[in-house]
Amino acid sequence: MTVETDAQGHKGVTLLTINRPQALNALNSKVLEELIHAFAAYQADGSQLCAVLTGSGDKAFAAGADIKEMSDKAAADFFLDDFFSPWTAEIVKKTRKPWIAAVNGFALGGGCELAMMADFIIASDKAKFGQPEIKLGVAPGMGGSQRLTRAIGKSKSMEMCLTGRMMAAEEAERSNLIARVVPHEDLIAETLKT
């Protein structure tokens, strides 16, 4: 499984973990499908009141789309094949209960966009956020540029999207992208207490 679910012992909180640390938790079609199913199970479970999504390991929440899976596709294929829309629709539109992104490292591209889909973000002091798609010659998908603009304003959003510059956790908090920064080793415990 590339998405682990733990609904035991957290007093009504489901902990979801993207488990591909060797690939910096990069998002591929398998991860996306498992996320859809994990969020649907969370939504259907009346005993669960909140979900927390994080990435396994110490380096990344999710480092964006899995470039290996994308390598044989043209940029237009992702929009024509509706690659991202089912994921966005299932998670954003059908998950009515609150969920929190616990960002433990890099949240880049689709990983940053996934975090922004959460009701709010709590980040480790080692977290970094970015929209580096421009460096690959593509634009952010899944509503990333719109969510980023609403969160931090047009100028910072455009700078990040047009230069690929990353934002450290402290700046992300000052810019209102995230709710708060916590020490890296306390991230999950602090988020579960929220």
**What is the CATH classification number for the domain harbouring 72?**
3.90.226.10
Chain segment 43-94, per-residue pLDDT in tens: 999 999 999 999 999 999 999 888 776 666 665 565 555 555 566 666 766 7
Q: Which one from 65, 101, 102, 172 is the annotated catalytic residue?
A: 65
**Catalytic residue (one of 64, 113, 144, 172):** 113
Q: What is the chain's mean pLDDT, rounded?
A: 88
The single-letter DSSP state of residue 10 is: S
107 is in which domain, residue-wise?
Answer: 3-193
Asked if residue 190 lies in contact with residue 182, where contact means CB atoms within 8 angstroms, the answer is yes
Neighbours of 174 (CB within 10 A): 13
Residue 25 is classified by DSSP as: T
Q: Catalytic annotation on 65?
A: yes
Residue 17 vs residue 133, higher pLDDT: 17
Residue of 133, 144, 169, 173 marked active site: 133
Determine whether 110 is an active site residue: yes
* Order of strands across the sheet that contains 50-55: 3-6, 13-18, 50-55, 99-103, 120-124, 180-182
Check pLDDT > 80 for residue 25. yes
Amino acid at 149: T
Domain count along the chain: 1
Of the residues 55, 110, 111, 141, which is catalytic?
Answer: 110
Q: Cα separation of 124 and 79, whole Å?
A: 33
Q: Is 113 a catalytic residue?
A: yes
Residue 136 to residue 138: CA distance in whole angstroms: 6
Report residue 161 as tokens: 């999207």
Strands 13-18 and 120-124: what pairing? unpaired
